[in-house]
Structure 1
Amino acid sequence: MTETDIQDPAPLRDRLANGAFLAVMVLARLLPYRRRVAAMGWFFAHVLGPLAGWRGRIRANLALARPDLSAPEIRRLTRAVPENAGRSLAEIYSGTEFTDRIHAADPLGGAGLPALEQAARAGRPVILAVAHFGNYDALRAALSGRGWPIGALYRPMNNEAFNRHYIPAMRAIAEPMFPRGRAGLAAMLRFLKGGGWLALGFDQFDDHGAELRFFGRPTRTVLTPAELALRYDALILPAAGIRQPDGLGFRVQIGAPIPHSDAATMMQALNDDLERLVRAHMEQWFWVHRRWKRRA
């Protein structure tokens, strides 16, 4: 019996929203992979994005971070950002059609790849600092395709019904995955201490984080990736699955390792690295997040 077999029924609102999503996915899965990914991108760009209010949030964030952008470029991004999200979700739910493509391409590269290969040979723990950029599951698929021990920490979605298929879909790409919470954290730390590799996000506002800068503006940034790297002498480096111009392929970029110093300095270096990446591929970062919240 699995954990999903013994869960209580999800709230009605969650079940209705989940049912609508599953109906869309059933229709999308009737299409060949290439058309499925494109269709989900179109649906997010032209239907879900406007309904969810994403365009307004994207404009607000761009006004803060990139006030220099032209009106046509802003309009483009209000569609391109949700499109990338839709494509990513279609890829996650495509299972081996997605992972087999990544494994066959072996798209790993970047200045940090030799250090990562050395860590694999030495059995050294690794922290891969990832963002909501491109499709970071392309990174997990690429690493697992080489047989490397990549784990991830995740926060279950608020919609309980959605979680019951979303989390298994994520686990099918690479395991282990650790849920936020005491038990998940304890298992994650054992994994890391034993030489495991962890993909940890750092690009969302964190109420308890340090006030660092991103796109020249102050924002609270989680320190956990750097703190764990210091505690367990883990290699820490930025990593991203960069979507290619065809909309289907990826270049999985491993950035240069971040030197160990203090946690805030290390995380600022990661913020700076992500900013350079986002500026080069503006449509691939999830500009919907409230990255620059104002604290009361």
Structure 2
Amino acid sequence: MSEIEKPPLRDRLANGAFLAIMGLARVLPYERRVPAMGWFFAHVLGPLAGWRRRIRDNLAKARPDLTAAEVARLTRAVPDNAGRSLAEIYSGDEFTGRIHQSDPLCGPGLAALEQAFAAHRPVILAVAHFGNYDAMRAALSGRGWPVGALYRPMNNEAFNRHYIPAMQAIAEPMFPRGRSGLAAMLRFLKGGGWLSLGYDQFDDHGKELKFFGLPTRTVLTPAELAIRYDALILPIAGIRQPDGLSFRVEVGAPVPHSDPETMMQALNDHLEAQVRAHMGQWFWVHRRWKQRGQRL
């Protein structure tokens, strides 16, 4: 990259700080590194980034029944899970090796995935910012199943230089958002590939559906692609276990093909049930219920 194309100084400073913190964390053994990064996110980064306020705001909308003590616990648990997940992504073989060895895939949709693989049928894996998304990719790739992912590069280009390779080391292929990435993604899907697509963030061009009983705009693309390419579509999530280090990768039942709105509402309902069961594992920082046109 030329001098003119260098990332802005602010981005380079932020990236340098992250690399310094991750470098210190890597000195620790895996069993201490992951919870240490969780603690850092929960007690340092989360408060500095304003995450606690956003979590409280979202919980006030979706779960006004929670006690003040439970809300306070979640303002720490949510960033803790995020920090652990990032440490796991940057732990390479230590992370994927654990997943491959444990083979944590389970759930009512697992047999359907096995059948889809045998039939070379395309699959849409509906994923959310829940648990650790990369535990799912590691588990599927560990079985030799063709899991690809669409991703949005970070705004910080300096960060992308190591973040994207770290994700690619877990499973490939990965397709960046944009025209070229979209074309490659569709070729992969049409050829019988399995594509993981997120659906749990507010989408300004989405359809107004319900999540926690509240209206929110939801992307229809996963369902639309499943219909167009006769792909199996089902939810899947890497649910962190009580030890904070291991996972259960739960494959939900396939969603029957109907109309995109009905299919995506079924996925919203499934995610809501999972979040209610594991409140600290969904990224409550997102402005899931913001008004259309409101800036993030």
TM-score (norm 1): 0.98
Q: 1:295 Cα deviation (Å)?
A: 2.2
For 1:38, which of 29, 35, 40 is the aligned residue?
A: 35
| Equivalent position of 2:228 in the other structure | 231
For 2:262, which of 244, 262, 265 is the aligned residue?
A: 265
Give the SS at the match of 1:241. strand
Give the SS at the match of 1:203. coil
Q: 1:20 Cα deviation (Å)?
A: 0.3
Aligned identity (percent) is 82
| Equivalent position of 1:130 in the other structure | 127
Distance in 2 between the 1:143 and 1:202 partners? 20
| Equivalent position of 1:90 in the other structure | 87
Structure 1: runs of 5 or more not aligned: none
Distance in 1 between the 2:194 and 2:203 partners? 23
Q: For 1:28-177, what aligned pairs fall within 5 Å after superposition?
A: 28-177=25-174
Alpha-carbon displacement from aligned partner over 1:267-290 (angstroms, at most 9, x marks no partner) = 000000000000000000000000
Q: 1:6 Cα deviation (Å)?
A: 11
Letter in 1 for 2:153: P
1:216 and 2:213 aligned: yes
Q: CA RMSD in A?
A: 1.2
Distance in 2 between the 1:6 and 1:166 partners? 22
Letter in 1 for 2:123: V
Letter in 2 for 1:109: C
1:249 and 2:246 aligned: yes
Alpha-carbon displacement from aligned partner over 1:219-261 (angstroms, at most 9, x marks no partner) = 0000000000000000000000000000000000000000000
Distance in 2 between the 1:261 and 1:7 partners? 51
Alignment CA distance shift 1:148-1:219 (3 Å): same
| Equivalent position of 2:286 in the other structure | 289
Distance in 1 between the 2:3 and 2:145 partners? 32
Q: 1:8 Cα deviation (Å)?
A: 2.8
Letter in 2 for 1:63: A
Letter in 2 for 1:164: R
Letter in 2 for 1:14: D
Distance in 1 between the 2:116 and 2:261 partners? 24
Give the SS at the match of 1:173. coil
4+ long deviations beyond 4 Å = 4-7
Q: 1:9 Cα deviation (Å)?
A: 1.4
What count of residue pairs does the alignment treat as equivalent? 293
Give the SS at the match of 1:239. strand
1:276 and 2:256 aligned: no
| Equivalent position of 1:185 in the other structure | 182
Alpha-carbon displacement from aligned partner over 1:113-140 (angstroms, at most 9, x marks no partner) = 0000000000000000000000010000
1:27 and 2:24 aligned: yes
Distance in 2 between the 1:39 and 1:15 partners? 24
Q: 1:73 Cα deviation (Å)?
A: 0.1
Give the SS at the match of 1:50. helix
TM-score (norm 2): 0.98
Distance in 2 between the 1:7 and 1:173 partners? 33
Q: 1:155 Cα deviation (Å)?
A: 0.2
Structure 2: runs of 5 or more not aligned: none
Distance in 2 between the 1:206 and 1:148 partners? 29
Letter in 2 for 1:134: G
Distance in 2 between the 1:45 and 1:96 partners? 25
Distance in 1 between the 2:146 and 2:287 partners? 32
Q: 1:173 Cα deviation (Å)?
A: 0.2
